[in-house]
Amino acid sequence: MASITSSLFLFSSTILFLLLSFPYSDAQTAPPLVTGLSYTFYKSTCPNLESIIKTQLQTAFKTNIGLAAALLRVHFHDCFVQGCDGSVLLDGSASGPSEKSAPPNLTLRKAAFDAINSLRDAIEKACGRVVSCADITALAARDSVALSGGPNYKVPLGRRDGATFATVNDTLKFLPSPTSNVSVLLSALALNNLDVNDLVALSGGHTIGIGHCTSFENRLFPARDSNMDQTFFKNLRLTCPALNTTNTTNLDLRTPNTFDNKYYVDLMNRQGLFTSDQDLYIDSRTKPIVTGFAVNQSLFYEKFAFSMVKMGMLKVLTGTSGQIRANCSAKNPGTVGDAWSVVDLEVGSGGAAAAY
Ligand code: HEM
Ligand SMILES: *[C@@H]1O[C@H](CO)[C@@H](O)[C@H](O)[C@H]1NC(C)=O
Ligand SMILES: *[C@@H]1O[C@H](CO)[C@@H](O)[C@H](O)[C@H]1NC(C)=O
Ligand SMILES: *[C@@H]1O[C@H](CO)[C@@H](O)[C@H](O)[C@H]1NC(C)=O
Ligand SMILES: *[C@@H]1O[C@H](CO)[C@@H](O)[C@H](O)[C@H]1NC(C)=O
Ligand SMILES: *[C@@H]1O[C@H](CO)[C@@H](O)[C@H](O)[C@H]1NC(C)=O
Ligand SMILES: *[C@@H]1O[C@H](CO)[C@@H](O)[C@H](O)[C@H]1NC(C)=O
Ligand SMILES: *[C@@H]1O[C@H](CO)[C@@H](O)[C@H](O)[C@H]1NC(C)=O
C-alpha cells in the first residue's frame, strides 16, 4: 500500500513537475479572430487565391530560396509598425522599397516587394481587384514558411490596405534593434500586446535567411562577445573582417534554408547571430522556452503558427476602412492622406442612417 501510494505520489509529482516546467498551458491552436477577419473571406470572391499564391511562390523559390526569408520578414515588419495594413510595401516607407535612408539593419529585399506586386497582378487577373496587399503579404509569409519545410497554418483574411506609411520614428520604436537584450525585446513586443511566448516563438523566424555584418558586429568588435562560441566567432570574423563591411551570413548555421527548430539548437550552442537571438538562451524568462523548442519541433511549429496568426491580426483595417490597392507600392490615386474617398464615407453613413 505504502509503495502504491509513494509511486502514485511520484507519478503525480512527475506530472506536476512536467506541467510546471512546461511553459505552456494553452491548448488553443489559434488565437480568437478579431472582428472583420475570417478564414473564408475570399471563398466566393476569389476561390483560387491561395493556390495562385502557392504555385507562383513555389516556382519563384526554385531560383531564389532567399525570397522565402525576405517575404516572411516583410510581413513581420508590416504588422509590427502600425498594424498589418500593407504600409511597409508603400514606396517611401522607412523600411520599404527604394528607401535610401533606412538603417542597414532594416533593409528589406527588393525581390520581396517585386514578388508581392507580381502576385497582386496575377490575383487581379483571376478575381478582379478584391484582395488586399496586406492579405497577400500574410499569405505569402505563410507559404514561405510552409514551402521551406515549416508548418502550414491557416491565415485569417479580410485585412484592408492603409494609405499612409509609418514614420521613421515609429519604425524604430516598434522594431527592436538586433543589439537588444530580452528586457528591451519584451518591452518592444508589449507595445503590440505580444508576450514572452510570442517573442521566443516568433524569433524562430530566424531559422531561415541572412543578416548583414552591421547587424551583429557589436558582438565581434572590439572583441568577441563572451556569450558567443569561439569557433563561430572565428568564422564570423572571416566574413566580417572589419567594422561596416557589406557581407552577409546565414542566420541559422545548421540548416540555413529549412524552416525547422535548429535555430534553437544554435542558441543552446552559443551560435545565435544577433544579441537579440543569443540573449533568449541567457535570460531566465526565455531560456526554458528555447530549450522546449530545441527538443520538440512539433511544439515549436504549434507555437510559431499560433503567434504568427496573433501577429497577423495586429491593428488590422477591416470592413470599409482602408482600401484595396491597385498597386501594392502606392496608395490608390485620389486617396488624400488618411481621408478615405467620399464613396467610402457615404457607405458608412448610409449604414448608420438605415438603422434609424
Ligand atoms: C524579435 C525581434 C527581432 C529582431 C531584433 C530582428 C532582427 C533582424 C535583423 C537585424 C535581421 C537581418 C537584417 C540584415 O542584416 O539584413 C533580420 C532578418 C530576418 N528576420 Fe528578424 N528580427 C526580429 C524578429 C523577427 C520576426 C518576428 C520574424 C518573423 C517571424 C523575423 C524574420 C526574419 C527573417 C526571415 C530574416 C531574414 C531576412 C532575409 O534573409 O532577407 N524576425 N531580423
Ligand atoms: C523622432 O525621434 C527623435 C529622437 O527620438 C526626435 O528628436 C524627433 O523630434 C522625432 N521626430 C518626430 C517627427 O517625431
Ligand atoms: C539600426 O542601426 C542603427 C545604426 O547602427 C541604430 O541606431 C538603430 O537603433 C538600429 N535600429 C534597428 C531597428 O535595428
Ligand atoms: C538591457 O539593455 C538595456 C538597454 O541597453 C539596459 O539598460 C539593461 O540594463 C539591460 N538589461 C539586462 C538585464 O542586461
Ligand atoms: C567580406 O568582405 C571583405 C571586404 O569587405 C572581403 O575581403 C571578404 O572576402 C569578404 N568575406 C566573405 C566571406 O565574403
Ligand atoms: C559605413 O559604410 C557606409 C558605406 O558603405 C558609409 O556611408 C558609412 O558612413 C560608414 N559608417 C561608418 C560608421 O564608418
Ligand atoms: C511535443 O510537442 C507536441 C505538441 O505540443 C506534443 O503533442 C508532444 O507530446 C511533445 N512531445 C514530447 C516528446 O514532449
Ligand atoms: C506602382 O507604384 C510605384 C510607386 O509609385 C511605381 O514606381 C510603379 O511604377 C507602379 N507600378 C505600376 C505597374 O504602375
Candidate from 183, 278, 279, 286 with most ligand 4 atoms within 8 A of CB, to mutate: 183
Catalytic residue chosen out of the listed positions 61, 67, 68, 77: 77
Candidate from 180, 181, 182, 185 with most ligand 4 atoms within 8 A of CB, to mutate: 181
- Which residues contribute to the annotated binding site for substrate? 176
What is d(CA 218, CA 231) in angstroms, rounded to the nearest whole number?
17
75 is catalytic: no
3-state SS, one letter per residue, for the chain: CHHHHHHHHHHHHHHHHHHHHCCCCCCCCCCCCCCCCECCCCCCCCCCHHHHHHHHHHHHHHHCCHHHHHHHHHHHHHHHCCCCCCHHHCCCCCCCCCCCCCCHHHCCCHHHHHHHHHHHHHHHHHHCCCCCHHHHHHHHHHHHHHHCCCCCCCCCECCEECCCCCCHHHHHHHCCCCCCCHHHHHHHHHCCCCCHHHHHHHHHHHHCCEEEHHHCHHHCCCCCCCCCCHHHHHHHHHHCCCCCCCCEEECCCCCCCCCCCHHHHHHHCCCCCCHHHHHHHCCCCCHHHHHHHHHCHHHHHHHHHHHHHHHCCCCCECCCCCECCCECCECCCCCECCECCHHHHHHHHHHHHHCC
Nearest CA to ligand 5 atom 10: 239
8 Å CB contact between 300 and 204: yes
pLDDT given for residue 16 in this prediction = 39
Instruction: Show the ligand 8 pocket: residues with CB < 6 angstroms.
Output: 91, 327, 329-330
Measured from the Cα of 179, ligand 3's closest atom is 14
User: Digits of tens for pLDDT over the chain (356 positions)?
Assistant: 334 444 434 444 434 333 333 333 344 589 999 999 999 999 999 999 999 999 999 999 999 999 999 999 999 999 999 999 999 999 988 877 766 667 777 889 999 999 999 999 999 999 999 999 999 999 999 999 999 999 999 999 999 999 998 888 889 999 999 999 999 999 999 999 999 999 999 999 999 999 999 999 999 999 999 999 999 999 999 999 999 999 999 999 999 999 999 999 999 999 999 999 999 999 999 999 999 999 999 999 999 999 999 999 999 999 999 999 999 999 999 886 544 433 333 233 222 222 22
Q: Compute how many other C-beta atoms are within 10 angstroms of the C-beta atom of residue 68.
A: 28
Is 72 close to ligand 1, i.e. is its CB under 6 Å away?
yes
Shortest-distance ligand to the CA of residue 100: 6
Nearest CA to ligand 3 atom 8: 177
Instruction: Show the ligand 7 pocket: residues with CB < 6 angstroms.
Output: 296, 298-299, 302
Name residue 96's amino acid.
G
CA of 210 to the centre of ligand 5 (A): 15
CA of 284 to the centre of ligand 1 (A): 22
Q: The pTM is what?
A: 0.89
Candidate from 184, 274, 276, 281 with most ligand 4 atoms within 8 A of CB, to mutate: 184
How many CA atoms, within 13 angstroms, populate the side-chain half-sphere of residue 60? Answer: 23
Q: What is the CA radius of gyration of the chain?
A: 22
What is d(CA 267, CA 280) in angstroms, rounded to the nearest whole number?
8
8 Å CB contact between 331 and 90: yes
8 Å CB contact between 108 and 76: no
Is 102 close to ligand 3, i.e. is its CB under 6 Å away?
no
